Amino acid sequence: MKLNIAVLPGDGIGPEVTKQSIKVLKAIAQEFDHTFRFKEAPVGAIAIDKTGESLPEKTLDLCKSTDAILFGAIGDPKYDNNPSAKVRPEQGLLKLRKELGLFANIRPVKAYNNLLSKSPLKREIIKGTDISIYRELTGGIYFGKKELSEDKNTASDLCEYSRFEIERITHLAFKAARTRKNKVTLVDKANVLESSRLWRRVVTEVSKNYTDVKLDFLFVDNAAMQMILNPKQFDVILTENMFGDIISDEASVIGGSIGLLASASVGEKYAMFEPIHGSYPQATNLGIANPIASILSAAMLLDHFELFEEAELIREGVEISLKLNITTPDLNTKYDHISTSKVGDFIEDFI
Amino acid sequence: MKLNIAVLPGDGIGPEVTKQSIKVLKAIAQEFDHTFRFKEAPVGAIAIDKTGESLPEKTLDLCKSTDAILFGAIGDPKYDNNPSAKVRPEQGLLKLRKELGLFANIRPVKAYNNLLSKSPLKREIIKGTDISIYRELTGGIYFGKKELSEDKNTASDLCEYSRFEIERITHLAFKAARTRKNKVTLVDKANVLESSRLWRRVVTEVSKNYTDVKLDFLFVDNAAMQMILNPKQFDVILTENMFGDIISDEASVIGGSIGLLASASVGEKYAMFEPIHGSYPQATNLGIANPIASILSAAMLLDHFELFEEAELIREGVEISLKLNITTPDLNTKYDHISTSKVGDFIEDFI
Ligand SMILES: CC(C)[C@H](C(=O)O)[C@@H](O)C(=O)O
Ligand SMILES: CC(C)[C@H](C(=O)O)[C@@H](O)C(=O)O
């Protein structure tokens, strides 16, 4: 297979972890006789510094002309506490999602058996957890009208959803449930929000096409509790943009390391793959950033093109590296100095 | 002291737990020679069934004519999955908050030493946790304009905040921090929301009046992670309405039982006290509902009127009941049949 892949390393540890997944994808290409072509472009704070824009036109063009996008991470503290900054790294990511129509963010959360002890949660609570979160990614309060009054004393954000936006991701979630444990939990706040009541109505309607899948409802506040009390109760979680942001980050803690979690953002035409973790600026260039989330996002990329065997091989490599303690310091209690690139090398060699 | 207290037991287990706190408050009145007068009124699903309204005019009038309100819980499953219901129990609670101007919801979260093992989190993660959450309660997306398009295919909710709304709760949070560990963490989503950027700006300004208090910022998705990874890092958490709903429910899991957590909702003129847990309909009238959250909300009521000694005595009673295993089945591993009212009796006797 021939694939053109846009690489957007972004800020902080983004570049160093992305380098490892490219390494791994190149090994896959060689082993399975594929042709993967990589083209890099800037996004985020690094793009602002270079061009004044967090998502330069050229970067967007590149993304639109390739088959898939491998994304690193963005964000820089120098913009975080500056509420009046006109340009912010995050805008690049949001614009990318919107322009490419990446309406569904898919985040698998799994408790790896050999990492159970790393979790802040008790072993018996998390063992066996296997959740797939479907977060709507191009609607809701993220993209609704924003207003700041002229005197700067009132500000607002509009959370808006249409039937169409809800339907398309709901179908994806139910289809996914069919390949899993046949259960979808809709997380909303239908006792307060009009938009949540629309979600509940539309999802209920769509669910009639999937009579083999059970549909549950959970208010977001209760979901935030249930995620810690009993994460095993969940199979597929379906939710709107902001709730998905919060609940999926909360869930990311279960497995013991956010450094292991990958995500796919998909739409009708494009697909982007990225680790869940942020740019983690304090760790930049220290060789301590865990590349596994990025490497697993490369595996999700392969899945997307139905290269299942290839993806599986990457996952095997990851499992073995975990088993053998070939991991960065965040996970490693045994060896001190296994660096980001050493982990990448190991999985490359394995392949 | 003479206090007129409105009692709004509400739905589900609300009535039975509220009965215990009244019992306890009566014991306090007798012991300390106070006069507490209680008047009951319906709210929630029970009020809808009786009057067609979740907050009948009479109930609101009673609340406005008393010194404080003791609230039980509201919510009934028969309304939850009916997105087109015109009247919903929750509206009563929201209207009450709005009409009484209860702009600050204060939720203490504490890990009790003799309950550490009950938590889904590991002992070393939670031991020593002592957080006070200040959630804005009468603004934001809860009360912003809601719209449903005529064809019912688009719905929206507006999240709006004004400087004034942010300032008043910010002052409360900083004053509280001064009596604690001098740290306030603002939880927001300033990298995406205009309203969050206003929060960040106003809170930063207000903080200049409290140079002895340290101010931190955390994005809500990160806060949802940090709450599990390391809850001890928090002292006072300050946040807007919806984020407060989610984060405080998440935090409620730390202590091992939501059945222990009380909250105060305060404004310029009125104050209301309630357990954090919901109406828990499945447990209604089984005698298994844990009354401690309600009893501790009565203690918060006494604190509010500076009856500190009295409040302390209730808390002591609670601690001893926990130590002696005089607790309902949710907490009790030793004895099977200690009922809601037996726990109330024990604390009453203790006083
Ligand atoms: C960086 C930020 C805008 C983004 C979001 O909130 O969507 C991030 O938290 C994520 O979840 O991908
Ligand atoms: C019942 C519901 C409207 C309410 C809220 O979301 O505020 C509840 O969850 C709470 O936190 O008091």
> Would you list the DSSP string of A70-110?
EEEE---HHHHT-TT-S--HHHHHHHHHHHTT--EEEEEEE
The DSSP call for residue A231 is G
Query: Is residue B108 located within the same domain as residue B97?
Result: no
> Is A67 assigned a ligand-binding role in the annotation?
no
How far, rounded to the nearest angstrom, does the alpha carbon of residue B51 sit from its chain's CA centroid? 26
* pLDDT tens figures, A189-203: 998 999 999 999 999
The pLDDT value recorded for residue A335 is 78
CA distance A245 to B11: 32
The phi-psi region of residue A154 (left if phi > 0; otherwise alpha if psi is between -120 and 50; otherwise beta) is: beta
> Is A135 assigned a ligand-binding role in the annotation?
yes
* pLDDT tens figures, B59-73: 999 999 999 999 999
Query: Is residue B333 located within the same domain as residue B285?
Result: yes
Residues of B annotated as part of the active site:
142, 189, 221, 245, 249
The pLDDT value recorded for residue A81 is 64
Judging contacts by C-beta atoms under 8 Å, the chain B residues touching residue A201 are 83-84, 152
Closest by Cβ to B160, choosing from A121, A156, A190:
A156
Query: Is residue A220 located within the same domain as residue A291?
Result: no
Query: Is residue B130 located within the same domain as residue B193?
Result: yes
CA distance B292 to B343: 8
Average pLDDT, chain B: 94
**Residue B247 pLDDT greater than 90, yes or no:** yes
The token pair that represents B174 in the structure block: 């900083």
Percentage of chain B exceeding pLDDT 90: 87
What average pLDDT does the segment B120-138 reach? 96
Domain finish residue from B235, B263, B291: B263
Per-residue buried b or exposed e for A160-170, using 16+ beta carbons within 10 Å of the residue's own CB:
bbbbebbebbb
* pLDDT tens figures, A314-348: 999 999 999 999 999 988 877 778 999 999 999 99
Query: Is residue A182 located within the same domain as residue A244?
Result: yes
Question: Residues of B forming the annotated binding site for substrate?
Answer: 97, 107, 135, 221
What CATH number does the domain containing B40 carry? 3.40.718.10
Phi then psi dihedrals of residue A7, to 5 deg: -115, 120
Give Cβ neighbours of residue B103 (< 8 Å, ≥ 6 apart): B136, B137, B138, B139, B165, B168, B169, B266, B267
DSSP bridge pairs for B131:
B109
Domain finish residue from A239, A260, A281: A260
Cβ–Cβ below 8 Å for B221 and A152: no
**Residue B198 pLDDT greater than 90, yes or no:** yes
Give burial (CB, 10 Å; 0-12/13-18/19+) of B274: buried
The token pair that represents B145 in the structure block: 């304009």
Query: Is residue B63 located within the same domain as residue B128?
Result: no
Closest CA to B218 of B246, B194, B196, B251: B196
Give Cβ neighbours of residue A132 (< 8 Å, ≥ 6 apart): A106, A107, A108, A109, A176, A180, A235, A236, A237
The DSSP call for residue A140 is G
The pLDDT value recorded for residue B88 is 80
Strands A104-110 and B271-275: unpaired
Cβ(A206)–Cβ(A170) under 8 Å? yes
**Residue B303 pLDDT greater than 80, yes or no:** yes
Site from A202, A242, A243, A247 to mutate, B interface, most B CB atoms within 10 angstroms: A242
CA distance B200 to B184: 12
CA distance A202 to B154: 11
Closest CA to B60 of B25, B22, B12, B93: B93
The pLDDT value recorded for residue A337 is 81
How far, rounded to the nearest angstrom, does the alpha carbon of residue B143 sit from its chain's CA centroid? 18
Lowest mean pLDDT, pick from B5-9, B33-37, B46-50, B257-261? B257-261
**Residue B336 pLDDT greater than 80, yes or no:** no
Query: Is residue B89 located within the same domain as residue B67?
Result: yes
DSSP bridge pairs for A39:
A6
Cβ(B293)–Cβ(B260) under 8 Å? yes
Instruction: Kindly list the distances between the CA atom of residue A287 and the CA atoms of A7, A264, A338, A344, B304, in Å, as whole numbers in the listed order.
Output: 20, 25, 8, 11, 53
Helices B292-304, B14-32: axis angle to 10 degrees equals 40
The DSSP call for residue A260 is G
How far, rounded to the nearest angstrom, does the alpha carbon of residue B320 sit from its chain's CA centroid? 23
Closest CA to B8 of B105, B136, B95, B101: B95
Closest CA to A203 of A217, A193, A189: A217
What average pLDDT does the segment A219-226 reach? 96
Lowest mean pLDDT, pick from A27-41, A138-152, A253-267? A253-267
Query: Is residue B257 located within the same domain as residue B144?
Result: yes
* pLDDT tens figures, A54-89: 999 999 999 999 999 999 999 888 876 665 667 788
Helix (H, G, I), strand (E, B) or coil at B31: helix
- Give the number of other Cβ atoms within 10 Å of residue A101's Cβ: 16
The pLDDT value recorded for residue A84 is 62
Residue with the two structure tokens 């600050």: B104
> With a 6 A CB cut-off, is A261 part of the ligand 1 pocket?
no
CA distance B196 to B190: 5
User: Which residues constitute the domain of residue A24?
Assistant: 1-103+267-351
The pLDDT-based confidence of A120 (bands split at 50, 70, 90) is very high
SS (H, E, C) B92-151: HHHHHHHHCCCCEEEEEEECCHHHHHHCCECHHHHCCCEEEEEEECCCHHHCCCEEECCC
> With a 6 A CB cut-off, is B141 part of the ligand 2 pocket?
no
**Residue B257 pLDDT greater than 90, yes or no:** no
Helices A194-207, A163-178: axis angle to 10 degrees equals 50
- Closest ligand, as measured to the CA of B137: 2
For chain B, the domain total comes to 2
Query: Is residue A183 located within the same domain as residue A121?
Result: yes
Query: Is residue A109 located within the same domain as residue A255?
Result: yes
Look up the pTM and report it: 0.94
The pLDDT value recorded for residue A258 is 84
Query: Is residue B167 located within the same domain as residue B96?
Result: no
Phi then psi dihedrals of residue A203, to 5 deg: -65, -40
Site from A88, A154, A157 to mutate, B interface, most B CB atoms within 10 angstroms: A157
The DSSP call for residue B283 is G
Domain finish residue from A260, A282, A298: A260
Average pLDDT, chain A: 94
Query: Is residue A253 located within the same domain as residue A141?
Result: yes
Residue A116 Cα, ligand 2 centroid: separation in angstroms? 33
